[in-house]
Amino acid sequence: MGRSPCCEKAHTNKGAWTKEEDDRLIAYIRAHGEGCWRSLPKAAGLLRCGKSCRLRWINYLRPDLKRGNFTEEEDELIIMLHSLLGNKWSLIAGRLPGRTDNEIKNYWNTHIRRKLINRGIDPTTHRPINEPSTTEAASTISFASSIAAASKADEKKINSNNNGVFVVKEEKNPIQEKCPDLNLELRISPPSTSSSSSETLKTGGGMMSLCFTCRLGLQNSKECSCCSGASSGGIRISTRTKSGYDFLGLKAGVLDYRSLEMK
DNA sequence: AAGTTTCCCAACCGCGGACCC
DNA sequence: AGGGTCCGCGGTTGGGAAACT
């Protein structure tokens, strides 16, 4: 089979973009909007492939980009999101306004990895580096397995410590103890049952008590148990920082579950 | 000051999934 | 149903800048 090349490579520029190319791309997108990247270069008079144009626009030229250093709060949020989502940079970027997946990925690889290692934390698993695996009573979880596990009615507690380690303390369940990392299909959905005890989240200096709904950015919604008093329950995921980021990004109260589906 | 090494980040590459015919 | 095309994602690379010798 094989794929056809995305563009006519022989007649395209590669490497760093010039000011003139940037200007052309910006002018074209301002006039016609984003989209149809394949035909854009020709239409805009650029000797670039569509992918290259898309990347340049998304990662560098977009007007809503926040350039400059990451704040400490952004650091912690990235660590937290990475512990939940893994290398899903686009999802992580979606929760950090003005940041791109590429930027976050680079930042992770150059700064945060080192930072976590210095803290004695494995940046891949978010586990303490010296911690023996598997038979521990507490095990670090991936986002996928946490949600899948939580979708069962089992009561679990997900805690975080100051170092960006997120730990699930499992109630006794012999099956799960043997198979802690089931590769179950993930689908985020509203909590199905009500056993409402709010989760305490400790993030770098503050303790918060939030229900799952709030952590999805749906404060004051009817599902919220800690804001409105309505019952809610089910899974407990640490998703907010004291800075008020709306994890899963939707302060407006619109949650696109599809965008969070994972394998 | 010059050469070398390390760091950082923009850009590229290849793959998978969605969509269309 | 299946093949082709396009888009978006994540991993990797290349080269310029900064730090070090």
Higher pLDDT residue, A181 or A36? A36
State the pLDDT at residue A32: 86
Is the predicted pLDDT of residue A147 greater than 70, yes or no? no
Nucleotides of B under 7 A from a protein CB: 7-17
What is the band of A11 on the pLDDT scale with cuts at 50, 70, 90? Answer: low
Of the candidates A51, A60, A50, the one whose C-alpha atom is nearest the C-alpha of residue A18 is: A60
Is the predicted pLDDT of residue A151 greater than 50, yes or no? no
Tell me which residues have their CB below 7 A from strand C.
A 1, 3-4, 6, 15, 35-38, 50-51, 54, 87-91, 101-102, 105-106, 109
Is there a contact between A147 and A239 (Cβ–Cβ < 8 Å)? no
Residue closest to B6 C1′ by Cα:
A110
* pLDDT, tens only, A56-67: 898 888 888 887
State the pLDDT at residue A242: 36
State the pLDDT at residue A161: 47
Q: Is the CB of A90 under 7 A from strand B?
A: no
What is the band of A6 on the pLDDT scale with cuts at 50, 70, 90? Answer: low
User: Rounded mean pLDDT of A12-16?
Assistant: 82
Higher pLDDT residue, A255 or A93? A93
Of the candidates A185, A126, A211, A124, the one whose C-alpha atom is nearest the C-alpha of residue A160 is: A126
User: Rounded mean pLDDT of A146-155?
Assistant: 34
**Closest nucleotide to A58: CA versus each C1':** C8
What is the band of A110 on the pLDDT scale with cuts at 50, 70, 90? Answer: confident
Is the predicted pLDDT of residue A9 greater than 80, yes or no? no
State the pLDDT at residue A203: 39
Sheet architecture: strand order including A138-140 = A138-140, A166-169, A157-160
Distance separating alpha carbons of residues A249 and A218, to the nearest angstrom: 9
Is there a contact between A255 and A247 (Cβ–Cβ < 8 Å)? no
- Mean of the per-residue pLDDT values for chain A? 61
User: Rounded mean pLDDT of A144-155?
Assistant: 35
State the pLDDT at residue A254: 35
